[in-house]
Structure 1
């Protein structure tokens, strides 16, 4: 009917829904047909069948290679594991080689050290002219060996090593401590080097391949050994002996000269005690010193060495306390510098003092006194030269440390006696 609207009644609802569902089914069917048409077109035009076959073939071939690849991977893993084991072994070998290299380097250093030490031995020094005197003070090797063999060797074989001032001085045939690296002869040589060159103990320890304490004990032992042997064999010479070797230059003007004396001072380390500092201070040296009286025969042999005294002592007191006065005999003559004002000490003994005349104040020295002064100076100079020889043992030129004060008298006496092996100063 025109202008009429359809009415919706309960009995018409189902019909309408059914119509709608039919439409949806029709649309879906059309879409499926379109999909099939597109799929057919896709496979028939863009991916031909032969291409798809090739792809499947490639997949099949890859599948076939998988076992081979897995086997290859396994072989590579095994090879890698073997290489890791080999690397570990090489590292272990490398560590062992490093240890061997370090050991060889240590042995090489030790060998070099021993070789250097072997170079500084008496056996090598004796082959070169002049070195024996330079290192030991002996004029030649033969003289050194005569002194060692005839004077020192027997006692050296039974001596104890020095352990300090409180140890016994006797040699009872009992050796103590570990054996030294050096033979007895080399120990003697080292001691002479210590005295002659004044080398520090640490230097000698490096040269001879031992500890510094061993050097100290060995050198002090040998110094004491030489001191005791010199004391036993060297006596104050009698007048007959002195006269037998009297040089002509003395026979003319001073034929009764028994001894020529002079004092010398040696610088020491400053004592810790204030009283000792004052007692050892020398106005002459302006240092702390010890003083020694030295006497020689007219033939320039050192015949008397006093103990050490404090540097402040006067020459007169030094002579009084030295023990020299007890050794002189009536008729002897003593030659000295004009500073030795000891005539009143010698006169009661019947001994004459020959010193240069003293210059009277505000007056000129008479010609005869000038001549006497000149003669005495020409003769007295030999004691200064002898003392100069003693100080060629350079240990006495250095500041004497407190560590050797206990043996300072022995050191000085031994150095003085060793100079007597040199050729005479006066012919």
Structure 2
């Protein structure tokens, strides 16, 4: 029969374990603090180096499916006796540098048997002796090669795969940026001719790209609020309240291409990737706006267009 002191210890252990809701985080381990009274559960160390070693040993990867918190523990099944500095029925204390090392996948397995192959040459009708050849092959690998091979943790393989995928993603992003840059150069707009003053003069009549941009910056504040031909004369809704299909500076460039070179609206709709109706509306809107704006400042802009 158990003594009173032993009963007291047992009662204390049961009381502690009833409030213990720890579950061992090691794969294939089902230890539960409520039922395994004889086990202790240890939190991950604060030292980052030792903590990382714990993660490697238990074969877990820190990520969306596994996070280390105050309730993440490893049970005493996975530690050796020499890993403890002190042990009592109520508390087991680990050494600071202790690392779990006992797992289901580290159990010693039975050695594989050696296969023997024997080749026998049957004697001929006039032969005087039999020739037997015995070949023995071992399925065990050479020890020298075993020493050079090291087990690669699972998380290292996953990190290498993630690194490769990131490199591929960066390469694809670089290719997309290059294609987008090339598309901007091939698209018919004023930015395409920013380094070619001859083409700017041909399409707009301005002597250079800088002159074109300077003039546009002067009229831009009022141009953003110009009344669209799309609405009736009595309506007060402006283009500022609508989502533009192209940049305002490209609208101005398109209008000058129509005015200066005489490009047809169907041609402009193809060049600027728009509909004929939209091109017609924008050309009329810009014509009305510039007529009213430049008429007020005729003495300033006279002879410069």
Smaller-chain TM-score bracket: 0.3 to 0.5
Q: Which has the larger radius of gyration?
A: 1
What is the TM-score when the length of structure 1 is the normalising length?
A: 0.27
Counting helix residues as a fraction of each chain, which structure ranks higher? 1
Instruction: Select the structure with the greater relative contact order (CA < 8 A; seq sep ≥ 6).
Output: 1
Structure 2 length normalisation: TM-score? 0.37
